[in-house]
Structure formats: structure tokens, C-alpha cells
Structure 1
């Protein structure tokens, strides 16, 4: 009879244990892949529904929610000069121009922001610009509601063919 050394026995039992772990992990991986596919599909349908609902809203205020991932700052992109002073009416201080939380009626606020964004893109030329960079240039990057108002306005301008969406979170002015 052949005797098994303790080392050989340990290797054999470790191999069996690892094979069992491998089989269990393969089953777990397949389950997680199915779950990820289901979550991804659900995420897509929720995103489409949210986009459709936001398109129906007459204007987006500070309570608006983002319709996608938060834009990361774009490295090494040219930034045109601020457009707030040139787009604000002469009889109103630049800090107040285009702010939705100042008590102005919604129609005026929407028009000011739209004009500020269009002026910014006119200065930017053919550059691709992130929504967050537009908000920053307009002084509207103080809170998520202000940034989301810029994003919503950009989406409306894309729908009206006044601004082009050139990528996820990237916009370019339309040449007239």
C-alpha cells in the first residue's frame, strides 16, 4: 500500500477546494452578468423616460434633476471669455442676469439664460464644450440646480437646432 505524505494530501485537498470555488464563482459570474444586463436595460428605459418628461417641462428650475452622468471637467479645452456681462441688459447688474432664483418671472429668466448660452457659443466658435464649462463661464456652477438649468436649456437649444450635441455632454454652436 502506498502512503500519502501530508504535503501531497494538502495539495490534493487544496486543488479540490479551488476547483469547487472555481465552479461556484463561474455560476456567480453568470448570475451577476445577467443581473447587470437587466440593470443596464432598466437604466436605459428610465433614462429615456426621464428625457421625455424633461422635454415636456416648460422650464427647468433649481429642482431639476440631471438626465445623465455628471460631466467631468474637460482637460485642455479652450474656454472663451465669459458671456454674462455682454448678454445681460444694461440696466441690470451682471450678477443678477439670468438667475432663476431672483424672483423674476420664468419667461424672462429662460430668455436671458438662452441668450447668454447662445452668446457664449458665438464667442466659442467651433469648439466642443461641456455643459459644466458653459455653466461655469456663465457663473451658474454654484449648485447642481443651476448647472441642471444650463443642461436643460442646452437640450432645448439642441431640439431647436440652435446648438449641436457632438458627443455625450459635449455641445457646439450652430453656424448661422
Structure 2
């Protein structure tokens, strides 16, 4: 009977220790998620600034200096999300393939190649004409308004297109096709 009580105390002690570890790990996870969000936001602004500067440099373009491009952001799925949601988040984060050294963005016919999302957005603006639209409207038209990650991918692409003078910023949160 004495060993049963000792075993019960050991289990209770282990459970309490694990509860403390769980609470500490949850706090650490939240802090890391906040830090990741801040780094991701900073990465986006640095990328936009770099793209704008490269567009201003004569004789250079995105293909001329692939080593200056920042790597594509990595989506770290939360273990609490279902697998299907994590897969969708990773797919959305990788909507546009990152530039790779040695790969030219110039097609054989002299045209420029873009990622699928960029092409979809440019096609949307070709049809929209001089209408001012919000990123959420563009995402909805492309069927990418299912979650905030998809909408943010559209916003990021719109910001890159504004930096490359392919789309105009018409106001806060508003975009318009570039008029020739």
C-alpha cells in the first residue's frame, strides 16, 4: 500500500512539473510568434525598399542582382492548426517562387516572367481599367479571400507591383492600373 501512495505522489509531481513547463512554453511560443511577426513585417518593408532602389539604378533590374534579394519568408505552421490549414498557409506563402541565383527573369522572347499571383493581379487590373480597388477586392476577385494570409499575399504582391511601377497606389489601401 505504501508503494501505491509513493507512485501516486510521483505521478502528481510529474504532472505538476509538466503543467509548469507547458505554461512556460506557451508564453515563450507567444513571444516568438510576436517576434516572427515583427521580423516578417520588417522583411517586407526592406524588400519593398530594395526593389524600389533597384528599379532606380540604371542598367539593373531584379534579374541583375539576385544576390541582393531577400529570401522568401518562411511560414512556420502552428501545431494547433489542422494539417489542411497548415498546408494551405504554406501554399499561400509560397505563391510566388523566390528568385534563384542563375535564373533569369527574362524569358527567351524578351518578355518578363512573373509568379502566378502577380500574373493574376496584372490580368485583373487590365480588366479593371481606371477603377480604384482595395487589396481585399482584388483577393476576392481572384478567390484568395479565404483567410488573412491569402489577402496579405495579395497586399504584398500589390506593394511589389507599386514599387515596380506596374500598379499605382491611388490612396491609402487603394490601387489602380497604371495608365499609359
What range is the shorter-chain TM-score in? 0.3 to 0.5
Normalized against structure 1, the TM-score is what?
0.44
Higher relative contact order (CA 8 A, sep 6+): 1
The normalised TM-score by structure 2 is: 0.43
Which structure has the larger Rg?
A: 1
